[in-house]
Amino acid sequence: MSMLMVVTENVPPRLRGRLAIWLLEVRAGVYIGDVSRRIREMIWEQVNALAEEGNVVMAWATNTESGFEFQTYGTNRRVPVDHDGLRLVSFLPFEKQ
């Protein structure tokens, strides 16, 4: 079991309801819980199936240098990048209108 956090933006209510089954919604769109790897993977499958045009980041505690790992779904200005084995976040520039 490890601590898991999921942050959602602009996702359909049915995904938010599914997340609330396994995790506690501590703020609008912010979910936390202590789940197994199997449940974490099942939650990510639900995100991929139901997030539609929204975006999601899921982070969990691991035995790595940083102490956590994360993955993202959907379009966001924050993009994960690998820098010599360390996961960092890069910011995309604002789109001109």
Q: Convert the pLDDT of each residue in 48-95 to its tens digit.
A: 999 999 999 999 999 888 888 899 998 877 777 877 777 777 777 777
Q: Is the pLDDT of residue 97 over 70?
A: no
Q: What is the pLDDT of residue 24?
A: 98
- Quick check: 63 and 69 in contact, CB under 8 A? no
What pTM did the predictor assign? 0.85
> Tokens 């936390």 map to which residue?
32
Mean pLDDT over residues 12-22, rounded?
Answer: 96
Query: Which H/E stretch holds residue 70?
Result: strand 68-73
User: pLDDT tens digits for 23-46?
Assistant: 999 999 999 999 999 999 999 999
Distance (Å, whole) CA 69 – CA 65: 10
Which tokens hold the place of 33?
């819980």
Q: Is the pLDDT of residue 3 over 80?
A: yes
Query: Which H/E stretch holds residue 19?
Result: helix 13-22
Q: What is the pLDDT of residue 53?
A: 95
Q: What is the pLDDT of residue 28?
A: 96
Distance (Å, whole) CA 80 – CA 88: 6
